[in-house]
Structures are given as structure tokens and as C-alpha cells.
Homo-oligomer: A and B are copies of this chain.
Amino acid sequence: MTPGDDTPMTTHILTLTCRNRPGIVAAVATALADCAGDITEARQFDDPLTGTFFMRVAFRLPQETGGDGRFRAKMDGIGTAFGMEWHLAPQDHRPKVLILVSKFDHCLADLLYRWRIGEMPMDLVAVAGNHPQEVLSVNLPAGVPYHHLPITRETKPQQEAEIRALVEETGAELVVLARYMQILSDEMSAWLSGRCINIHHSFLPGFKGAKPYHQAHARGVKMIGATAHYVTEDLDEGPIISQDVEHVTHADTPDDLVAKGRDIERRVLARAVALHLDRRVLLNDGRTVVFPK
């Protein structure tokens, strides 16, 4: 902030990844300063194991100078020089999001509520589920269509093709599996890789697979958790974005664990989606770099 400065400004977010070497920050910061940009938040990570550099910069540019055009041109040069993958967009860009759900709608209800009160800066293009809308306990907001895409073992390829068509038609940039209890095919997982977030109802890597709360009860653990991760071809092995846990006791039945788990799942998924929407998650092979505020 530059107090007293009345120039209208717009905020942009730049994220970039490249091989680490000296001068990256200087190049980007100098390009920004040349455009009268004012950095408001910057985070970077230099992975000592892989030699990869990750950066997220939020900055303000004077509106009169034609937005981010000049800076984008400079970044073209810098990106080429350093071999960067980079992404630049206005902070107020609201990504198009498709939510998939099955019968249990606690994560969906939570995301919808947060979206309604302005906590989730996304453009919710549709909700789809493998059950009729009537199974849901939550009402969809006006203007958000529900697509019933039933699935059986036999129709799985067709159903996934329908999801794929829906993603393409709606232009969804992110697909959220909000307790969508179907296992995506390898092909579908690969197609959605990096732009699909799943909530797994266990503290991965413990209790992979089905009925994790029952597994947790049988093992007698004293804490249960949930894991939000990007979908990749390896089921339950995608890059982890966020995790959380709660204490449980011997007196908690499997049903109690399911109930406690609902609270963990919804807050972990909401947090992961919010981090993603705010472009605070970068991929580092099978792991993530997360730059929270």
C-alpha cells in the first residue's frame, strides 16, 4: 500500500516454476518495478532436493497503463530466459468450477454456503451427481444446474464421457469431488490431473481404499483425519494439498467416526479449494508447494 496514493490499481497474481538459479527474483521484481507495480505479497520456495524454484507474487498495477499488458510482455522474455512455466491473471478472476457429489452432501452444502457468503471466489457452473437431486438434503442456489449422471459398472465409460462433456461445455477449470464416491477410471483421472481436487476420508497414507472410518475403528486409532489431494492416475496417491485430524476415543463407534469425519472433511476440502482458487498451490511432482496467506 502506498498511503495517499489515489491512482486506481488492479491486483494480479503471478505464479511461476523453473529450475533454480540466481537472478529470478531480481528479474521479476525489476520488471514489475518498471511497470510501476507494487508487490503486496510474495512467497517463494527453492526445493533443495530437486533444484526447482516456485514463486507466487501478488502485485498491484496502475489501471491507466493498460493493465497487465506491458508486464506480460516482459514476462514473456523472462519466462523464456529462465525456462519458466508461469501463469498470470487478475486476482478477481473467478475460475469456473464443477462439483461432483454422491449421496452424502455435507461437503457440497459447506462449499455452497461459503460460496453464497463470498468466501469461495469461484464461478459455480454446475453440480453433478450419480444420484437424483432428491437424495441431497441441501438446495442448490438458483441458476446452478444439477446434472443427474447415473452410473453402473456397465455404463461407467459412458458416464465418464458425460462428465467430460460437461467439463468441456461448461469450461470448468476445476472439478471438485465433494465426496463423489465413484472411483474414476485411470483415463479419466489422467485427463483431470492437476485440475481436480478430491477429499479422501482418511489421514492418508493410512486407510486407503473403502470404508476408512471402519478401518480406523478396527485398528483402534486415537485420531482420525481427512486429506484433500489432486486427482492423479494413482488412486489415493495424488499430491496432498491439506490434511487435518481430530481426537477420537474407544467409545466412538464407526458411525461416530463417520460423523466426526464429516466436520474434518468439509473443512479440509473447503480449505484446499480456497487455496487452489487463490492460486496458492503449485505442483512439485507428486507433492505440492502451498503458500498460505
Q: List chain A positions with a Cβ less than 8 A from chain B.
A: 1-3, 20-27, 29-30, 32-33, 36-49, 51, 106, 109, 113, 116-117, 119, 137-139, 203-207, 219-223, 225, 239-245, 249-253, 256, 259, 263, 267, 284, 286-290, 293
Interchain nearest-CB distance for A146 vs B (Å) = 16
Copies in the complex: 4
- CB contacts (< 8 Å) of A289 on chain B: these are 250
- CB contacts (< 8 Å) of A48 on chain B: these are 1, 253
CB contact between A106 and one of B47, B117, B225, B249 (< 8 Å): that residue: B117
Are B113 and A288 within 8 A (Cβ)?
no
- CB contacts (< 8 Å) of A207 on chain B: these are 205
Complex-state Cα separation, A222 to B46, whole angstroms: 18
Are A113 and B109 within 8 A (Cβ)?
yes
With CB as the reference atom, state the residue of chain B lying closest to A21. B2
CB contact between A42 and one of B38, B42, B51, B290 (< 8 Å): that residue: B42
- CB contacts (< 8 Å) of A204 on chain B: these are 206, 219, 221
Are B245 and A245 within 8 A (Cβ)?
yes
CB contact between A223 and one of B26, B243, B252 (< 8 Å): that residue: B243
CB contact between A293 and one of B24, B109, B256 (< 8 Å): that residue: B256
CB contact between A240 and one of B51, B106, B219, B244 (< 8 Å): that residue: B219
- CB contacts (< 8 Å) of A116 on chain B: these are 137
A-B contacts besides A1-B51, A47-B250, A220-B286, 14 pairs, CB < 8 Å:
A1-B46, A1-B48, A3-B51, A22-B32, A25-B25, A25-B33, A41-B251, A42-B42, A49-B253, A206-B206, A220-B240, A223-B243, A250-B290, A256-B293
- CB contacts (< 8 Å) of A37 on chain B: these are 22
Complex-state Cα separation, A138 to B138, whole angstroms: 10
Interchain nearest-CB distance for A42 vs B (Å) = 5
Interchain nearest-CB distance for A260 vs B (Å) = 10
- CB contacts (< 8 Å) of A119 on chain B: these are 259
- CB contacts (< 8 Å) of A239 on chain B: these are 220
- CB contacts (< 8 Å) of A30 on chain B: these are 26, 29-30
